[in-house]
Structure formats: C-alpha cells, structure tokens
Structure 1
Amino acid sequence: MISSLSEFLNLHLLVSFTSGTGLILAESGFWLLQLFGRLHPMLVHFPIALLLVAVVMELFTLGNFRHSFRSGIRFLVFSGALSAIIAAGMGWLLAENEGISGSTLDLHRIVGLTSAGLSLFLLVLLRKSELHPSSSSIKTFRFFLFLTGMGIGVAGHFGAALTHGEDYLTEVLPGNSEQEAPQSLTVDLATFAADLSPEKEIQLVTNVRSILAHNCYKCHSGAKIEGELRLDEKEFVFAGGENGKVIIPGNADESELIRRISLSKNHKEVMPKKGKLLSKEEIQLLTLWVEKGAPWPDGVAQQSIYRVAALAPRNPVLPASKPGLENPIDRWVDQYFQQNQLSWSQPIDDRTFLRRVYLDIIGLLPSPGELAAFEQDQNPDKRALRIQELLDRKDDFAQHWLTFWNDALRNDYTGTGYITRGRFAITDWLYTSILDNKPYDQFVKELLNPNEKSKGFIEGIRWRGTVNASQRTEMQAAQNVGQVLLGLNLKCASCHDSFISDWKLEEAYAFANIFADSTLEVSRCEQPTGKLAKTKILWEELGEIDSLATKAEKLRQLADQLVQPANGRMYRTVVNRIWKQLMGRGIVEPVDEMDNLPWSQDLLDWLAVDFVENGYDLKRLINQIASSKIYQSQSIPLASPDLLLAEDFKFEGMIRRRLTAEQFSDAVSVISAPLFDSAEVKFWPYQLIPEAKSNLGFARASLVANNDFLKSLGRPNREIVSTSRDSQASLLQALELSNGERLNQTLEKGAQNWIETLPETVPLTMELYAKALLRKPTEKELTLAKKVFGEKPETAEVQDFLWALFLLPEFQMIY
C-alpha cells in the first residue's frame, strides 16, 4: 500500500525543490514553515510502521492482556501516536505552503488528521487499560488501536495516490491493465503540416487530448491539482497555472509545457516526474499543435472523426455460383480475390484436413485408424460428412468450445472473487448451452437477463477493498457486454469522454445504469460530479429502457432489445469471432473493435444476416466455414503477428497458428500420459456421473483449474475478458516445455507405458509418429531412432523422444 521510504522521499523532495511555472509546486511562504512541511514524507513513515506493528503484536495478546509483548506495545503506541501528531502537523504545513490542492489531498488530510486525533485518544485508553484492566477498558483500547491502524493505512494510501497518481493501486487490477495509450496517437505528422482543414483540426486536438489524458491527468486534473494547473478541460489548459500560462499559441519555444516535456529524464524540471516520459512522437505532436496556434474547436465533441460501423443489418446480393465455389463464403472470397488480384491456393490433403478440422471442432487429434479410414473412403462428400460427425460429438465439442466461451465470458473455476462470493461461475449453464447448441439469441438473453446459473457474467467481480468507479460491478457489466457481445470498447468512456471513439462518459454510465439496483452517480476521472446517470441503451434506435423500472425489468428490456435482428452489430460481432477462431484472423481485427474496416464488408454483412435467418445456429455457422474451399486451402504463415493488424492486410486464407494450451495438453495426454488427474477436474459434465469418472481416459484441460503449466502456454487468468490469445511462442512457454516438472513427469510415465506396450524400437517409433504426427517416420528419422535406441529403448530415451516430438513445429502448429 505504501511505497518505500527512499522512493517516497525522492518524489516529494524532487518535486518540492524545483522551481518554475505552475507545472510544479510553488515556492511561496516562509522558508522555515516550508522546510518543516517538507519533512512530512520522511516522518510519516514512523506512525505507519509503529502503529501497524503494534496492531500485529496486540493480536498475540488476545488471550493474555499482560503478555510479555505489553511493554513493547506500550512503546510502539506512544512513539507512533506522537509521530502521527507531528506528521499531521507537518503535512498541513506542506499542503499550505506548496500549492497542492484537489479532492485526493482533501481526503488524505481529513483521514490523516482524524487518525492523529485517534492516536492521541489511544494514549489515554492505553493508560486507563493498564491502570484499571477491566474487560471493557481492554476491549475499548483494542478497538481504537485497530481503528487507528486502519486510519493510518488509509491515510497512507491517499498519500501514495498523491505522489504516484490516484490509480496507484487500482491500475494493476485486471481490467485496468488494458487502458494504455490509444492507437489514435500513432499518426502521420505530415498530415497536419499543411493548413488544417476543420476535420484535420479536430483530429489534431483529439490526439493532443489523448496525450494529456494519459500522461498529465494524475497531477493536473480535478482529482489532484499541482501548481494550480489543470489540463483536463479547455478553459483550464489555456488559463495556465499559478505562475502564468504554460501554452503560448503559435510559439512552441516560449511555451513552458513544451519546454518541460522536452527535457532529459534526469533534469530536475522534466515533466512528467513519475512514470514514462512522453515519446518523441508525442512531443512532436504537441509541439506541432502549439505551432499551429493550439486550436481547440468547440465542435470537437460533436463531429465524429472515427469510423463508425453501421448498426442495421445489411444483406448484399450474393455473387453467382461457379464450379467448385458453391459455398457462399467461397463466392465472396472469390470476388475479393478478383478485386485484389489474388489467387486461390491449393487445397490441403486429407491428412492435413482431418487434423485441422478435429482440432478446430473438438480440440482433439484424430487417431491413426480414423485417418486411415478417411483416406480410404471414396465418398466425394466425405469431408462434409466428417465435419457433421464431429459437430455431433456433443460432449467433445462442448468440452473444446468451453475454453473459447470461458475466455470470452470471463468464467473460470477458481480465482479472485470465488472464495469471497464476490464472483459467480456460470460453468453449468454454459456447458449445457454449448452441448444443446442453444440458439445464440437465447444464449445472449440468458446472459443479460440471467437466472441463478447464468448471472455470473453481468455480476462481474466484486473486488475486495476500494476500487475505482470504472471497476464497480455495474460498469464492469457495461464494459463486458459492450466488448463481448457488441465488439465495443467502453473502458475509456467509463472514466471520461473517450479519446479513441465518440462514446461519452454519460453514455457509458447510462448503459451501466441498466445493470444497477439504484441510480448511479456519474464520476469523471474518479471524481463524483453530482449528476445522476440516465438509463439508456447504447443505440436509441434499438428501443428505450424504463428508467423507473426494477433492475430485473431493465435487464429483461435490454435482453429483448439487444437480440433483435435490427441489431446487426451484435451478429456481425459473433460471426467475426467464430471466423477468427477457425481462420486465425477476423474479418474485422481486432475482434473487439467492430468499428474497424473489415477486409470484406460484404462477407461480414452476409454472414451475419444468414446467421440470423437460419436460427442463430452456431454449429451451422462452424459447419459453413469448415466446409468452405477457403478453409480447406493451404494455411498462410506469417513472420509476425503484427502483420495481422497491418492497414494493408490482404486476406489469402487460414492463418497458420499454434495449438492452444488446452489443445496441446489434451494431445500430450492422449499420446503420452494424462497431464491432469481427476482430482484437478473442477467441473464434471453432468453426463460423467461419479461412477463413470474413472472411465474417462484423461482429464480434458478445459475442465481443470488454471495452473502454471496452462498459464505458460497462454491460458489467461479470466479476471478480465479475453477474446484473443497470442499464437506466438514465448520464452515462458519454452522454459516450461523444456524444464517444467509437470511435463517431465508426464513424459516419464508415458515412456514407461509405451515400453510396456511396444518394447522394440521399430514398432514403437512407427506408432509414436502415427499418433503424434499422423504419418510414418521417414527413412532418416527411423534410422536415427534405431541409432539412438538400439534394439530396445530405455525409459529415459523414450521420454526424450516424446519430448522431441512434442516440440516439433509439425506437432505444435495447425497447418
């Protein structure tokens, strides 16, 4: 909660002893009072440490008040109380003489002075309890000791917030880690070099506001005002601070703000003092803005400069069928290829197809026997038939796709909130919904207007302790529903008007109010505004929400309105997610930013309408994609995942991708030995009754709680929504696969099992290649195996052989 003494002193003293404009603390008042005030950061750590240690020691005396710790507690309480009183006085001098103001300082001062007063009263109670040790006097002393300790801790928290920013603690919570500088900061400065059109002017000042928000608000906004300077609103920006203006329009060289942000890291006047300095591009953009006269048009909040996708559905005319292109998806892809002068790649062979479709639909590898039968099958429709057979394997399908939906719906078996009942699992409901192929509109309705089994998604996580306003459960619901169901980022707008979209703070609160039991008060940058939120759906054309209705009724109205066919955005979002899951890259990317330009607007729109017209059937959608020629074409390797987000991305086919943590784990369990035992399974599908658990060949990774092995392979903690996993190998993954104890033990067991079954080198090698890679070893591979193993391999040799197989790209990749 409290930073180290050296860090705390360094920040306070470095800021305090600098001079200059209103960007920093002022030098004013009698020097001796300033000096005493500046000793506050050094002294304030004494009561924090002493009183909190006294609280801990008092716990050991609960059964015996005259414990040997009593003399130590007496000394700590006396010393801590005295230093708390002195520290409070010095803190008051610091605030009065250094020009700091703001709501966070007010809270710090109130709690600090109250704690100092409590500590003085604590001395009286301590003396009384020792002279007259009655039950009531001892209980009273202990109560106020614990209360004072809490007060000191809370005061320290606000003190840290003053020096490190108001989100010093909460910024590390899941859900806040994604709020980085928006992509809109990556701009071509040359576009603003010439005379600014009204549209370019708005775009320029929008990026300027983004820079100020992400770098300056911690010290220069309504929450904390250093040097009487605020940079969060137009009138304050141009008014300047206590030492005058910080921006001289048209003259960057004379603008104090530009000078400060351009200084070197170790310069005593550089801004910002804490955290990362502004990037070269950010400084250049601010400089250009000032040189252009620091425009800030009043219409910046009204005129959109962002691409906004249509809400209504659109059903484009399907291109004519061609031989071999009967699937509507292929007809749209063919049209796209013609427009972009691209060629179709060759279709994949049966072995590649079978492995790909098994992994994509049920998450498991096909057996050598299944491959042999498939290759021998002469039915021209055998691929379509096999896709349908896999979709009909209901349990395998559900256990595989449970991972996809657990990530997206932030559902897990253990973790933050489950123990304290501040979070609710939806696994039973979710698994049954997948198993029964519940129509997606009904699926969404039950998430938004939930029963006891499905309420976990919009209930969010009730974080323990104080969290910021943008992480209250109602706002979590608004953010998660926006992200998962609508491909919309409301996180920025949950704190202030968004700088990366047109969404406003009031709109985010109006949407969050639907999930609230009582009317929410709007907080801007964590500061209550006194305004009560309205109650509205994000798009008014979808209907109205009765603001006077109960929460249950508001949720019912929301569910009915969001799932209506008129909400084309929701159905574009889900078909785009399924497309990415099977093809490696969304039609729109990232999949949570559905206002971005799709590589084929026609394909996206047609898929969404077709999905609605055919009963919101997710399995049918998967079948439709997997049956297409483009899905069954050669995969496309990419040198870097960044290329997936490139503006000039051209779609050519399925992106080659790595097995997920669950797919890899299940494959290892089948070929070697189970990675997880039954005790680690946190959810048993209802078909697997207790008597049948022992018949389960291995525990599917999707059913076990997260652990170090799965984390290293990319499984998220699911405290926030995760709609994409990195397909690139990481250093952590390499270390775990090379030296991890779990995999090592599994391979050792697997080696022992294989030697018992096939003790001779050639049959063993042939079978392992067949199961792991669905092929025979080459002559070179077989010769090498004979050379390494000899006639009969040892356990350690087979263990190493399994390890080498599992590390092959041929095993780890979906081609």
Structure 2
Amino acid sequence: MNSKAFNKYKFLALLLLLVAVLYPFFLADVLADPVTEAATSTANDTFWLFKLLGRLHPLAVHFPVTLLCLAALLEVVTLKDFNSRLRPGIDLLVILGAAGAVLSALLGWMLAGQEDYGGDTLAIHRWTGVATAVLGIMAAYLLYTIEKQNRWELIKYYRGLILFTAVGVTAAGHYGASLTHGDMYLTSVIPWSDDYEGAPGSKSNFSLVSLKGNNKLSHEQEIELNTQVRAIFAHNCYKCHSSDKIKGELRLDQKDMVFKGGKHGQIIEPGKPHESEIIRRINLPRSHKEAMPGKGKPLSKEDIQLITYWVEKGAPWPDKGQKNIFRVAELKPRNPSLPKATQNLQNPVDLWVNEYFKKNNVAWTNVVSDRIYLRRIYLDIIGVVPTPEELDAFAQDSRADKRNIWVRQLLNRNDDYALHWLTFWNDALRNDYSGTGYITNGRTNISDWLYKSLQSNKPYNQFVKELLNPGKGSEGFINGIKWRGVVNASQRTEMQAAQNVSQVLLGLNLKCTSCHDSFISDWKLKDAYAFANIFSDSTLEINRCDVPTGKMAETKILWEELGTIEEAAPVKEKLRQLAENLTKPANGRLYRTIVNRIWAQMFGRGIVAPVDAMDNEPWSQDLLDWLASDFVARNYDLKELIYLIATSKTYQLPSVKIMDEQKINAPDFRFAGMLRKRMSAEQFADAVSSAIQPVYADSAVQYKHFPELKPEQASTPFVRASLVKNDGFLTALGRPNRETVITGRDSQANLLQALELTNGKAFNAVLKRGADSWVARYKDSDTIIREVYRKALGRAPVPKEINVAKQVLGPTPNSEAVQDFLWAVVLLPEFQLIY
C-alpha cells in the first residue's frame, strides 16, 4: 500500500481535530453538577447547539457500525492473503470506522447528559461505545505499524482486535437500541419469548370513558376503565410485580395487593393522583433511578393519562362483572347464516368476503390470468410448477368451469398432494429425518404415518386422535425429544407435549406459562401443569421458574367444558379421553385453528394472525366461524376445504404486496387478497430441479422413507425436496431444523439466502449440471433461451429478454455461459414469487 493511502500524520491530525472541536462540549458535560444539570434539562435551558450536536449521535453511530463490521468481514474473507487487492479498501474502512467511533462516542456522551436517559443500560451503552472507539484507534494503529514498519508478526493481533472491535460496536448498537426502543426490542418479535408483541393484547378505548369528563362513572364504565388499567399493568409491570417476581414487596396482579402497596407504603391514594406514589413514579424521567417501569419501554403518554384518570376517579376495581384483561376467543362453534348469493358471487368464501369488503370500502378487482392462476394452484396444492404442456392444455381448455375442474384434478393427485403438504406438517409436528434425538433414540420419526395420512386424506378429527392417542407410527409427536443432560422443568417430555399440542392444534402458546403465570394471557402456571399431567405416568410437581413449589398438579383439559380426565387412570386411558374430548364438534377452537392455518398457507396471512395466537381478533369472525363449521359438516375433509378456498374469486384476486412485514400481523390489517409470497425452500428446490435439471437424481432415492410408494408412481423425475434431509441450501432458504414447532415461515428474502443463491456450492453445482444438460441437448442460443423461459416461467421470452440473453450466451453457448443464464432466470422475482 502506498504512503498516500495511509499517512499517520493525517490520521493523527484528524483525531486531534475531532478532539479539539468536541472537547469543550465533552468537558462541560462531564464536569456538570448532577443537580444543576437535571434542573437545566428539566427547564429545557440547554444551549441549542449542544442539543443539536448530541442529537446527531443516532445519525453518526450507524457510520462506524457499518464500516468496522465490513472491515472485520473483509479481513475474514482475505484471511489467507493479507496483501490482497482489497487491502487499500480495508485500510480506509478501518481509519474511517475508528474516527467515526470516536465521533459517535463524543456525541453520544453529550446526548446522554441532555435527554431523559439513565440506568444500567445507559452505562453499558456508554462504555461499550467508548471501548469501541478505543479499540478502533488501537486497530488502526496496529494496521499502521504492520504496513509502515513491516511488523508482520502483529497481523494476528490486529485481526483479532478488529474482530473484537466489530463485536464491540455491535454490542454498543444493541444497547443503544435497547435504550431508545426498550430492552425488549429484539425479544418482542420472538414468538416463544415472554415479551412477544404478537400475543393477544388489549386496546385502549377512550370512547367509553372520557378523560375530560367529571361525571360519576357507571358500573360498566368502572369495569372498562379498570380492565384497561390492569392491561397496562399486565403488559408493563407484571415482570417485576406479580406472583412470579415481587420486587419491592409490591404486586400489581391482585386487587388487595395493589391497594396494600409495597415496602415503602401505599402507592395509590384513591381520588388523589398528585399524592399517589405510582403516579409520581411513572412520570419520572427515564434517567431517574425510581422511574417506573424500570425495564423495557416507558409508558406512553396515553397510558399515563389513563392511570392518572383511574386514580382520580377513585381507582375503581369492581369485584362483580370483572372482565378478562386479555381477549379470549369463544370456544364453542358458531355457524352464522350465509349472506345471499349474487349473480357474480356464489362461493361462500366470496359471500363473506363481500360483506367485509362492503364494510371496509374495498372494491373487487379482476381475477388473475390463467397462467398466474395455474401456477398458483400448482404451488399451493402440490408444491411444483406446471409444465409447459400443462400450461398449454389449461390455456386451450374452453370449459367455463375449467378452474374448478383443474383444482379437483390436482387434489386427486394424491402422491403429489402428500409430498407437498408433508413439508407443512413436518414443520408443525417437528418431524424430521435426522437431527437432535435420533442418534440416541430419544426421538421418533412419524414420516410413514404422516405420509399415509395425507395420501389417503384422513379426516382431520381422526388425524388429531391418532396424534393425541397414538398407535405405532404416530407416537413421535407427543413423545417429543428426550434431551440429553439436565433440562429445565418446562422441557421435560410431558410439558413438551402440552406445549406442542396447545400450539399446533389449538393455536395457544403455553411456553411462557410452563415456567410462570403468563404475562400475555390469563393462563396460569397451574393450567399448563394440569394439561401436561395428562401425558405423564406420574403426578407432576409444579415448578415455578425451575424451582419446585411443593404443590402437585391437577389433571385437566385447558377448557374443562370439553370434558374431564380421570386423574388416576393410566396414561393410555388419559390420552384416549383427551383425544375424544378435544375432537368433539363442540371444540370450535380446534377446527377454527386448522381452517386458519390452511387459509394462511394459501393467502400468506391467516384470518387470525399470528396463527398461534387464536385469541387475537380475526379480520372476519363470520368467515372464520362459518369455514370451521362447514369443515366439520363436510366430515373434516382438508381437501374439500382447500377446494372451497382455491375455487373462490377471493383466492383468484391479484396478489397484494406489503413492503413492511410488521404490518402483516398488525391489528389494523386490511384484507384485500392473497399476500405475494416467496416460494418455500422445498418449492424453490423442486422448481429449479424441474426447470433446469430434468434428471436431478435417481428417483428411487425419493422412496427411501416410503417403501410403499413405487418409483413408477412419480410424476416428477427428481427427488422431491420434502423427502430429503436438511442441508445448507435448504437451511439458507428457510427450512427449520425442526427441534421446535414451526407453524409459519418467513416469506422475506434475507442475507443468508442471498449469499447461498449467489455463491452457494450446492446451488452452483446443480446449475452446472443443468447447463451441461442444456448444452448437450441444444447447440444454438435461440432454442436454449426459448425452452428455458417456457420451462422456468411458463411463457415465451419477449424480444428485449432475447437480446439480453444472447449477449450472455453468444451465438454458440458453452456450459459456463448457460450456467450464468440459468442463474439469472431462476433469480428473477417472476420465478421465485407466487403472484
């Protein structure tokens, strides 16, 4: 590297300039008297320029994070060649990253002194930021020493330091996000986390209780106001002040405990908000050590107003007519009367959606083309793309009801149907062909039973019965995984069964409740243990957060109105009773859950979302209830449910693109049609195999797990991806390891997927074999271009596409050029997305 690219004097001058400019502000902040500073901040008297510079910290901090992390990544990439062609760029990244870290640390220190930040998170964020700046300078200095003084023995120390710097800047960024967004910022999007934000919640509804009114509240208004306040407590305070953790001797989950107060006395003076300790605490700035909540996000302005109003009105807490804090879906079935059919709408799905569209001012649009529709039903029903011949036959079919006919034909392809839906059920039932537990025989494969059940279209109630009261072949689901070593109480097999059954079959997350009373629902620890006791051959002792309580669990179904379980009965009898009780037609929740899951698979979003939170409000309660009742009336037939959905005009509407994935599960979601979906890992692998690799492998391999299925029954000359063991390629495209229940996959592209599709060895090997096959079969580029477009995209290329492809292939294409062409085609959104 030449001296102009790395001049130590310029580097030192830059750092000195930064220090000289910012040191007065830094010194003023450090030497400020805490009392004076707090008063100044409260009075909002801080000089505007200081505030402006401090608030530039969030903008400046992203610069060093990106540069230092990229520098570390490039050091890994060039591990065997320090003096690679990337060296000048890496050097520049390290210099700018170090300087940016220093600048960000100084601006951040100024910001902390002027805003309402405080607590341990601030301290950790502050010092990890300072440490990153110091480490960045040290890394830059070591780099200079190596290159200017030929101290090559320092390379390993420098590289270790730059990697550690990247970790440090990432940690600093994480704590910064926690500081501004709350320490639940990451965990709140993890479904099995205690902090999961997608769980059932309560909406504030100020229309019932005016915040400005002075009139006496009615009994109903008192109930509503109290319910809203308790919901705020549940979401924000129970983690420290409930039966599981009683910080400061204060509990906020029971009426008598709330008014008793904590170790510092009462927290509520009914009718006197200005004398109530709780009001004082929730209004304190975040930097104050007594501010509440002490963890997570601060209360919103509306929440503070509501609690204040509640105390002002005497803190009413009626014992009679009390509501649940969290929404609870109805258990029993409901069969609403169908709206009248119209000339254009006869399918029951369309009739209910039409009611929803009228209510929400959504207009019906024209249905999709034949090509899009056929590709859609092929991928959704049997998991593969249609062949060019099938597309041509569909286009030439002149029957008025041809779409209905073709849906029925696909559903009658029993083997293809089973091979596709095997993926969905393997995820949900955490069934796999290898992995954790199989080596030690602590886990049982249910593949043979599952395939046969799907292939024969077993009625869903019988399907569930055989999972809950298993015979040989289906016992793997409730037997779970026998983990090696010591596990916590919530991971024992009986509790796994309770968690998995409730999640998969009932759309209820019991994972939090298996350790402590839930913070996101009204379910209690004792409920989870009572349900787990059904799967146990001995009475379970209740453990709260892995600590034995000395209390023994009862034996109950989660909803006792469905029936009882004999506590003293053998496990096999208890399972028989459970299977009979849970599959009763009276259990509307069981059938709403499966209907909602099938809808989500086909539309990209359930009528209720997320699909494991069935207590959430559906966008159409009538549609959900009617579909569940109709499903029972049609003998629990999953294929008939799919037929009803796939032949509706609603399913044939153009797909809807949503840029912000967080809006998909939002309570204010508005349905307008199928969400645009990305192919699953298995669908993509099968589509690539059929489009560019006509003979992927020996088809006999496909039947390794299913000896009763003969190779001559295959409709595709390649191994269906649902049957193969997981590998790096499928993992990158979203296939889970199936050690936990997965009931929905992320449809968004990610960095791992991009890397695999760009430079993955397995993917490139398939492309190369496909290219060799195409070159051996066709000698001219025109034919290759035309045939690849037909097989991959189901259409002919347009002139512009032909011209671009010819530039890649040339007049006489070789294997390498064809491989590049195939890669470009299968990475097109038109190939990867389900429109």
Report the TM-score when normalising by structure 2. Answer: 0.69
The alignment status of 1:657 with 2:677, answered yes or no, reads yes
Please report how far the alpha carbon of residue 672 of structure 1 lies from its aligned counterpart in structure 2 after TM superposition. 2.1
Per the alignment, residue 24 of structure 1 pairs with none
Per the alignment, residue 643 of structure 1 pairs with 663
Q: 2:341 is matched with which residue: 321, 335, 339?
A: 321
Q: 1:397 is matched with which residue: 401, 417, 437?
A: 417
Please report how far the alpha carbon of residue 337 of structure 1 lies from its aligned counterpart in structure 2 after TM superposition. 2.3
Distance 1:478 1:184, change over 3 A: closer
| 1:214-258 superposed Cα distances (whole Å, 9 cap, x missing partner) | 4x48xx9768x888888887777887887x459576469967994
Q: Which amino acid aligns with 2:634?
A: N
Secondary structure (helix, strand or coil) at the match of 1:205 reads helix
Per the alignment, residue 84 of structure 2 pairs with none
Distance 1:505 1:682, change over 3 A: farther
Q: Which amino acid aligns with 1:521?
A: E
CA contact (8 A) 1:638 1:655 kept: yes
Distance, in Å, in 2 between the alignment partners of 1:341 and 1:287 is 34
Please report how far the alpha carbon of residue 504 of structure 1 lies from its aligned counterpart in structure 2 after TM superposition. 2.5
| 1:733-774 superposed Cα distances (whole Å, 9 cap, x missing partner) | 112111211111111111111111112100000000001110
| 1:598-622 superposed Cα distances (whole Å, 9 cap, x missing partner) | 2222222221111111111111111
Q: 1:353 is matched with which residue: 367, 373, 387?
A: 373
Secondary structure (helix, strand or coil) at the match of 1:332 reads helix
Distance, in Å, in 1 between the alignment partners of 2:610 and 2:764 is 36
Higher deviation after alignment, 511-520 or 526-535: 526-535
| 1:282-322 superposed Cα distances (whole Å, 9 cap, x missing partner) | 79957975896596948599631333222222222222222
Per the alignment, residue 344 of structure 1 pairs with 364
Per the alignment, residue 121 of structure 2 pairs with none
Match runs of 1:129-168 below 5 Å: none
Per the alignment, residue 194 of structure 2 pairs with 179
Secondary structure (helix, strand or coil) at the match of 2:343 reads coil
Please report how far the alpha carbon of residue 656 of structure 1 lies from its aligned counterpart in structure 2 after TM superposition. 1.5
Q: 1:203 is matched with which residue: 228, 243, 255?
A: 228
The alignment status of 1:279 with 2:297, answered yes or no, reads yes
Distance, in Å, in 1 between the alignment partners of 2:453 and 2:324 is 40
Per the alignment, residue 767 of structure 2 pairs with 747
| 1:501-549 superposed Cα distances (whole Å, 9 cap, x missing partner) | 2322222222221111111222233332222222122222222111121
Please report how far the alpha carbon of residue 651 of structure 1 lies from its aligned counterpart in structure 2 after TM superposition. 1.9
Match runs of 1:441-590 below 5 Å: 441-590=461-610
Distance, in Å, in 1 between the alignment partners of 2:473 and 2:301 is 51
Please report how far the alpha carbon of residue 213 of structure 1 lies from its aligned counterpart in structure 2 after TM superposition. 3.9
CA contact (8 A) 2:233 2:252 kept: no
Segments of 5+ residues of structure 1 without an aligned counterpart are: 1-170
Secondary structure (helix, strand or coil) at the match of 1:529 reads strand
Match runs of 1:574-653 below 5 Å: 574-653=594-673
Please report how far the alpha carbon of residue 185 of structure 1 lies from its aligned counterpart in structure 2 after TM superposition. 7.1
CA contact (8 A) 1:576 1:587 kept: yes
Secondary structure (helix, strand or coil) at the match of 1:335 reads helix
Please report how far the alpha carbon of residue 640 of structure 1 lies from its aligned counterpart in structure 2 after TM superposition. 2.2
Q: 1:684 is matched with which residue: 705, 708, 715?
A: 705
Distance 1:630 1:207, change over 3 A: same
Secondary structure (helix, strand or coil) at the match of 2:664 reads helix
Q: Which amino acid aligns with 1:201?
A: N
Higher deviation after alignment, 428-437 or 575-584: 575-584
Per the alignment, residue 161 of structure 1 pairs with none
Secondary structure (helix, strand or coil) at the match of 1:646 reads coil
Q: Which amino acid aligns with 2:731?
A: K
Distance, in Å, in 1 between the alignment partners of 2:778 and 2:369 is 30
The alignment status of 1:423 with 2:462, answered yes or no, reads no
The alignment status of 1:408 with 2:433, answered yes or no, reads no
Distance 1:269 1:588, change over 3 A: closer
Distance, in Å, in 1 between the alignment partners of 2:232 and 2:704 is 47
Distance, in Å, in 2 between the alignment partners of 1:234 and 1:617 is 48
Distance, in Å, in 2 between the alignment partners of 1:234 and 1:730 is 47
Distance 1:517 1:301, change over 3 A: farther
The alignment status of 1:771 with 2:791, answered yes or no, reads yes
Match runs of 1:259-298 below 5 Å: 263-264=286-287, 277-281=295-299, 289=307, 293=311, 297=317
Please report how far the alpha carbon of residue 340 of structure 1 lies from its aligned counterpart in structure 2 after TM superposition. 2.8
Distance, in Å, in 2 between the alignment partners of 1:604 and 1:694 is 36
Secondary structure (helix, strand or coil) at the match of 1:589 reads coil
| 1:69-108 superposed Cα distances (whole Å, 9 cap, x missing partner) | xxxxxxxxxxxxxxxxxxxxxxxxxxxxxxxxxxxxxxxx
Distance, in Å, in 2 between the alignment partners of 1:757 and 1:300 is 80
Higher deviation after alignment, 640-649 or 700-709: 640-649
CA contact (8 A) 1:430 1:454 kept: yes
Per the alignment, residue 212 of structure 1 pairs with 237
Distance, in Å, in 1 between the alignment partners of 2:645 and 2:746 is 22
Distance 1:333 1:272, change over 3 A: closer
Q: Which amino acid aligns with 1:180?
A: D
CA contact (8 A) 2:226 2:310 kept: no
Distance 1:747 1:252, change over 3 A: farther
CA contact (8 A) 1:252 1:258 kept: no
Please report how far the alpha carbon of residue 356 of structure 1 lies from its aligned counterpart in structure 2 after TM superposition. 0.7
Higher deviation after alignment, 438-447 or 498-507: 498-507
Secondary structure (helix, strand or coil) at the match of 1:645 reads coil
Distance 1:319 1:235, change over 3 A: closer
Q: Which amino acid aligns with 1:699?
A: V
CA contact (8 A) 1:185 1:207 kept: no
Secondary structure (helix, strand or coil) at the match of 1:523 reads strand
The alignment status of 1:813 with 2:828, answered yes or no, reads no
Distance, in Å, in 2 between the alignment partners of 1:696 and 1:400 is 13
Q: Which amino acid aligns with 2:193?
A: E
Distance 1:553 1:527, change over 3 A: same
* Aligned-CA RMSD value: 3.5
Distance 1:175 1:501, change over 3 A: same
CA contact (8 A) 1:682 1:704 kept: no
Distance 1:237 1:375, change over 3 A: same
Per the alignment, residue 62 of structure 2 pairs with none
CA contact (8 A) 1:522 1:528 kept: yes
Count residues with an aligned counterpart: 633
CA contact (8 A) 2:230 2:325 kept: no
Per the alignment, residue 822 of structure 2 pairs with 802
Per the alignment, residue 724 of structure 2 pairs with 704
Please report how far the alpha carbon of residue 577 of structure 1 lies from its aligned counterpart in structure 2 after TM superposition. 1.1
Distance 1:387 1:263, change over 3 A: closer
Please report how far the alpha carbon of residue 452 of structure 1 lies from its aligned counterpart in structure 2 after TM superposition. 2.5
Distance 1:710 1:296, change over 3 A: farther
Secondary structure (helix, strand or coil) at the match of 2:237 reads helix
Report the TM-score when normalising by structure 1. Answer: 0.71
Percent identity over paired residues: 54
Q: Which amino acid aligns with 1:492?
A: C
Q: Which amino acid aligns with 2:525?
A: L
Per the alignment, residue 455 of structure 2 pairs with 435
Q: Which amino acid aligns with 1:202?
A: T
Higher deviation after alignment, 508-517 or 253-262: 253-262
Secondary structure (helix, strand or coil) at the match of 1:303 reads coil
Distance 1:291 1:677, change over 3 A: farther
Distance 1:716 1:258, change over 3 A: farther
Please report how far the alpha carbon of residue 259 of structure 1 lies from its aligned counterpart in structure 2 after TM superposition. 8.6
